[in-house]
Amino acid sequence: MLTSTQELLETARRNAYAIGAFNVYNLEGVKAVVEAAEALQSPAMLQLHPSALKYGRSPLVALCLEAARAASVPISVHLDHSTSAADIQDALTAGMRSIMADGSPLPYAENLAFTRDMTALAHRYGAVVEAEIGRISGIEDGLTIAEKEAKMTDPDQAVEFVAATGVDALAVTIGNVHGEYKSPPRLDFDRLARIRQRLSIPLVLHGASGLPAEMISRSIQLGVCKFNVNTEVRQAYMATLAGQVCGDDEQDLLDVTQEAIAAMRSVIMEKIRLFGSDGKA
């Protein structure tokens, strides 16, 4: 059933588990998420990045909303990392009620103004807003410790930012990175604890691909109730295609497609178990 992100996150937080928000790009991805969630009786989020919307906005939004409505478990549909007012307006108009207004590439004051305006807009539609301060990197290499520190979420600034913008959830930067971790992940749990102590809204951790089980559970204990997962699911999809497509004329398109869905589903089920949302539908 199509459910609000707010309800999913608040319930997760009260019960000390987290919701997996999985990036999807096509029907196969949507099926993989919904099938995994149903198989484990888990809530989940279908997440569309602006790059996916550029590829096929109306059909993808409609597909996600319809799949969520038809699912036997609670599912919400969310716009990931949106840096543009136009994308956010388009998503709201298309019926999405959960967005990430991502002003994190901007200087702090501009991030605050962008997030405040986008939150006011989204709230007029009854939509839920996630924002970010600090800056998640895609690569860790080549940065000094001080440069890494400077990108992390400052707890005092987080309090001010949430009060000034009215956002509903905050993505924190504590050493998490998008994509693969080129060296073993190191998360600043003291920083997360200080943010948690001072903020009561749901916290989000991006870049969950590549995080070991103990870091996931520690993050949940310290208040994270949404994890974003993209890379590992995409890799499962791509690896299956690379391994399955053999150039044989007899090979069936739908057989290959089903294999790809199964590979993604299995990664998603593994994440759902780590997040502890299995059996919580």
Residues involved in catalysis: 80
Burial 237-262 (b: 16+ CB within 10 A, else e): beebeeeeeeeeeeeeeeebbebbbe
Q: Identify the residue among 115, 119, 173, 228 touching ligand 13P (CB under 6 A).
A: 228
* Interface size with ligand 13P, residues (CB under 6 A): 13
Nearer Cβ to ligand 13P, position 95 or 179?
179
Cβ 121 to ligand G3H, closest distance in Å?
6
Return the bridge partners of 171, or none: 132, 204
Question: Should residue 121 be labelled a site residue for ligand G3H when binding is judged by CB under 6 A?
Answer: yes
153 touches ligand 13P by CB under 6 A: no
- Least distance (Å) between residue 48 CB and Zn ion: 12
If one asks whether residue 189 binds ligand G3H (CB under 6 A), the answer comes out as no
Which of Na ion, Zn ion, ligand G3H, none does 125 bind, CB closer than 5 to 8 A by kind? ligand G3H
Select the span of 19-27, 69-77, 225-233, 270-278 touching Zn ion (CB under 5 A).
225-233
Using CB under 5 A as the binding rule, the residues of this chain from 51 to 90 that contact Zn ion are none
Piece of 60-68, 106-114, 149-157, 226-234 that binds Zn ion (CB under 5 A) = 226-234
CA quadruple 83, 86, 88, 91: dihedral positive or negative? negative
**What span, in angstroms and rounded, lies between the C-alpha atoms of 172 and 161?**
12
From 108, 125, 181, 189, residue interacting with ligand G3H (rule: CB under 6 A):
125
Please identify, using beta-carbon distances, which residue of 134 and 207 lies nearer to Na ion. Answer: 207
Three-state SS for 178? Answer: coil
Nearest alpha-carbon partner for 81 in 64, 98, 67: 98
Contacts 24+ apart (CB under 8 A), 160-166: 161/111, 161/112, 161/115, 161/131, 161/133, 162/199, 162/201, 164/112, 164/116, 165/112, 165/115, 165/116, 165/119, 165/131, 166/116, 166/119, 166/120, 166/123, 166/129
Residues 45, 30: contact at Cβ < 8 Å? Answer: no
| Contact pick of 83, 231, 257, 258 for ligand 13P (by CB under 6 A) | 231
| H helix runs in 166-252, sequence order | 189-198, 213-221, 231-244
123 is in an annotated binding site: no
Q: Does 78 appear as a known binding residue? A: no
37 binds ligand 13P (CB under 6 A): no
Exactly one of 6, 111, 119, 209 binds Na ion (CB under 5 A); that residue is 209
Task: Report the half-sphere exposure of 154 (CA within 13 A, side-chain side).
Answer: 9
Q: State the Cα angle at 78 between 76 and 80, rounded to 5°.
A: 155
Q: Are 112 and 103 in contact (CB under 8 A)?
A: yes
CB of 93 to ligand G3H, least distance (A): 8
145 three-state secondary structure: helix
Q: Does the protein bind ligand 13P through residue 155 (CB under 6 A)?
A: no
Nearer to ligand G3H, 87 or 188 (CB): 87
| Interface positions with ligand G3H (CB under 6 A) | 121, 124-125
| Interface positions with ligand 13P (CB under 6 A) | 23, 80-81, 178-179, 206-209, 228-231
Q: Which residues are known binding-site members for Zn(2+)?
A: 81, 102, 132, 178, 206
